[in-house]
Amino acid sequence: MSTAAVSRPAPFDTGRLDALMDKANIDVLLVTSKHNVQYLLGGHRAFFFDYMDAFGTSRYLPVVVYAKGQADKTIYVGHGMEGYQNAVKPLWVPEFIKGATSIDSMEKAVAYVKKSGVKAKRIGVEMPFLPLDAADALRREMPHSELVDSVFTLERLRARKTADELAVLKQASEKVIACMLAVIANHGPGTTKQELADALKREEVNRGLTFEYCLVACGTSHNRAPSPQRWEQGDVLSLDSGGNYNGYIGDLARMAILGEPDAELEDLLGEIEAVQRAAFSVIKPGVIGGEIYTVAEERLKKSKIKDHTDFLAHGMGLVTHEAPRLTGTGPVRYDGYDADKALEEGMVVSVETTLQHPTRGFIKLEDTVVITAKGHEVYGEGARGWNRGGTSAK
């Protein structure tokens, strides 16, 4: 069953996507990841499947079909539940087709490709986001087509954020900081790490965020899993959380303490701040991406905390650790594609400096930095020092 949608201009740069597809020698895309489906549909996310994919004996599988140079032939295969959303806020694509299981969705997408007559010698699919049963159905129905991975192509399309995307990212970052400050102020000695993580989840949900995770360390421990460990007087606290706002991730880390920080703690956090600021100083259009690492690591080499501290910078947006890819040696396995390429306006970089001190605990700052026409802007800029715990009860 299909439903007519509203045919209007695509909410992304079709010329850029066509050029990227041409470079990768891709004729048609079958997009199946939630984040890229959202991007290509201009913000649409299935409300019924926001938290889950499993459905009965199969799974939810959205499919956007996009043919190079023929945006007017784009279709969306979604679940029947999405018909409600399409009635309230019609999709831009010319046709919305209602699917069911993963195989059903793929078969309907392929049937459309065949019917439309678009060239499909090389079909771009997202290999990490295509279930085996749907891939088998695709190969069975299109035996003469070659399947190629389109993750990189779609990542490059999203690399430069629009003004609307940046506005959402800024709100996500500011909301996460506000949630952290509320949790810190409202909790005192004896609070467990689990209770802190639960409280942060409630704060984020109450501010319109989708809670994704809370990494929390306190005292001298470097363990960041929520647990029965208690935050006690004099203990440092590290909160690192991802809060999702309309699909975009606010990912920041801030520090707190119960009581007053001594001179050593002030100095340690000051050193981390200095590394962060060194990295910020070169972030602007035209600067080679790897320069962020160069200046940060040079500053870190001069620091007395260098033996216990790690620096990391990575892209942010609909996905954590997306373009720009600034290193090939970080915790996520990908090549440093952007390390030797110029930063561009609209790119977003997460900058994080982490100290695992042998006696003082886990101390970290993480910031979201946007490359602007004039340089950069830090989203969620505040609360960078030692935030005092339990102040709301005083």
Q: Is the Cβ–Cβ distance between 133 and 91 less than 8 Å?
A: no
DSSP 117: T
Give the residue-averaged pLDDT of 19-35: 98
Looking at residue 303, what is its pLDDT?
A: 96
Whether residue 4 has pLDDT greater than 80? no
Residue that is written with structure tokens 């956007």 in the block = 64
Distance (Å, whole) CA 191 – CA 86: 45
Q: Name the band, by pLDDT with cuts 50, 70 and 90, for residue 393.
A: low
- With CA atoms as reference, report the closest residue to 305 among 349, 345, 275: 275
Q: Which residues contact 97 (CB under 8 A, 6 or more apart)?
A: 1, 2, 3, 75, 76, 77, 78, 108, 109, 112
In this predicted structure, the answer to whether residue 333 has a pLDDT above a threshold of 90 is: no
Q: Is the pLDDT of residue 113 over 90?
A: yes
pLDDT band at 296 (very low <50, low <70, confident <90, very high): very high
Q: What percentage of the chain exceeds 90 in pLDDT?
A: 94
The predicted pLDDT at position 142 comes to: 97
Q: How confident is the model at residue 144 (pLDDT cuts 50, 70, 90)?
A: very high
What tens digit of pLDDT does each residue of 180-237 get? 999 999 999 999 999 999 999 999 999 999 999 999 999 999 999 999 999 999 999 9
Q: Which of 306, 308, 286 is nearest to 296 (CA)?
A: 306
Quote the pLDDT of residue 171. Answer: 98
Q: Which two tokens stand for residue 173?
A: 């970052």
Quick check: 5 pLDDT over 80?
A: no
Q: Report the distance separating Cα 124 and Cα 60, nearest Å.
A: 20
For residues 303 and 274, the answer to whether their CB atoms sit within 8 Å is yes
**124 and 28 Cβ atoms separated by less than 8 Å:** yes
The whole-number pLDDT of residue 8 equals 79
If you average pLDDT over residues 114-140, what whole number do you get? 97
Look at residue 394 in the predicted model and tell me its pLDDT. 54
- Spatial strand order in the sheet of 70-79: 2-4, 95-99, 70-79, 63-67, 28-31, 122-125, 146-149
Confidence of residue 330 (pLDDT cuts 50, 70, 90): confident
- Band of the pLDDT at 3, cuts 50, 70, 90? low
Is the pLDDT reported for residue 318 higher than 70?
A: yes
351 in Cβ contact with 146 (< 8 Å): no
Three-class DSSP category at 238: strand
- Structure confidence by residue, pLDDT tens digits, 39-59: 999 999 999 998 899 999 999
Tokens, residue 376: 């950069």
Cα dihedral 384/388/389/393 (nearest 10): -130
Q: Is the pLDDT of residue 19 over 60?
A: yes
Do residues 311 and 353 lie in contact, with contact meaning Cβ atoms separated by under 8 Å?
yes
Which residue from 287, 208, 286 is spatially nearest to 250, judged by alpha carbons? 208
Question: What domains can be seen in the chain, in order of their start residue?
Answer: 2-158 (3.40.350.10), 163-393 (3.90.230.10)
For 144, 211, 252, 253, 316, the CA distances from 172, given in Å and listed in that order, are 45, 11, 10, 13, 12
What mean pLDDT is predicted for residues 359-379? 98
CA–chain centroid gap for 388, Å, is 29
Q: What are the beta bridge partners of residue 225?
A: none
pTM: 0.94
| 67 φ, ψ (degrees, to nearest 5) | -100, 135
**What value does the mean pLDDT take over residues 280-294?**
98
Structure tokens at 79: 């679940």
What pLDDT score does 331 carry? 84
